[in-house]
Amino acid sequence: MSATAITLSSYGVDKLTVSEVARPTAGPNQVVVNVKLRPVNPADVFSVLGVYPGFAPKTLPATPGLEGYGIVTEVGPGVTRVAVGARVVPFFDTLNGHGSWQEFVVVDEQELAIVPDSVSDATAAQLIVNPISVLGMLDRLAVPKGEFVLQSAAGSTLGRQLIQIAKSRGIKTVNLVRRSAQIDELKAIGADVVVSTEGLDTPAKITAAILEATGGKHPYGAVDAVGGNITEALTLAVRVGGTVIVYGAMEGMSCSAGVGSLIFRGITITGYWLGKEFPLMGVKGRQAITSEALDLITRGVLEPFSGEIFPLADIGAAVGKSMAAARGGKVLVA
């Protein structure tokens, strides 16, 4: 039997191909999952372009896609954790080219999260990349209750989830956006402070706007998806001894910081990459942190920001839409 998969024989958005591949079968302790829905994340686009280290198949063709949701259609000998018909989020082997942009995948029964009936398909499809990254970064910053955490790109899907999760922990948020139109939108989901960088053309001006909005209170720590001069603004704004975690590169593959921030203010700049952190958690760790995310979802704390849905065969258009500004939520592929 055959199945549909999106494959790359060489890198580039124009190289994405709708292919027919052999449908996998379940071996001992394995399950086959019919992948029903998957998002297009920035890292997926970088995978397609051949510049993402989390997609490094030894040979091509290969299939990208970091996350997705599906239904178990076959169980192998020895499987006890799930049955046919179970709603699950597989932990995809995207590194080796076995990603979510295909109809069927086979995984070990332990390498998945079981999705409660109360969680929608669209929400389940976005369980891994953004929620787990937010949980990991907030845990690393260890922001005390009542303190501020500062973030760039606050209008992104991840940024919105950070607002929601921080609020559930009693942490206040300072949120940088590029467009003033986003201010009321983010405050409506619980943002404490929102600062637009429109017209603020230097790190010093951005920092001044942040501190004016917080009444002079320096945020405890920060997360940055932008890089460039925004990183410098965050290093100037956070408390003495604070940490800035860089997890994205919206302005390119470099970021800046003043020497004074590093030497005299003791600021630490570090990175967070889920592609490294998630495997290091081990099976039990992966199951535990996805269970934590699912609990936040079922309690109504976390609500992913879903956008337009494209058919799998129209993957090129989906990728193009995912790179558009003000796209209205995470692009999904069915």
What residues are labeled active site?
A: 52
Instruction: Output the furthest CA–CA distance in the chain (Å, rounded).
Output: 64
Q: In angstroms, rounded to a whole number, what is the distance separating the alpha carbons of residues 263 and 238?
A: 14
Contact between residue 274 and residue 133 where contact means Cβ atoms under 8 Å apart: yes
Contact between residue 175 and residue 154 where contact means Cβ atoms under 8 Å apart: yes
Distances (CA, A) of 14 to 5, 7, 45, 160: 16, 11, 12, 31
The β-bridge relationship of strands 2-8 and 16-22 is: antiparallel
Q: In angstroms, rounded to a whole number, what is the distance separating the alpha carbons of residues 127 and 69?
A: 8
Contact between residue 88 and residue 112 where contact means Cβ atoms under 8 Å apart: yes
Q: In angstroms, rounded to a whole number, what is the distance separating the alpha carbons of residues 145 and 166?
A: 9
> Strand, coil or helix: what is 34?
strand
The β-bridge relationship of strands 104-108 and 30-39 is: antiparallel
Distances (CA, A) of 184 to 193, 196, 212, 306, 328: 10, 11, 18, 19, 15
**95: which 2 tokens?**
């590194």
The β-bridge relationship of strands 268-271 and 243-246 is: parallel
Place of tokens 């290969």: 62
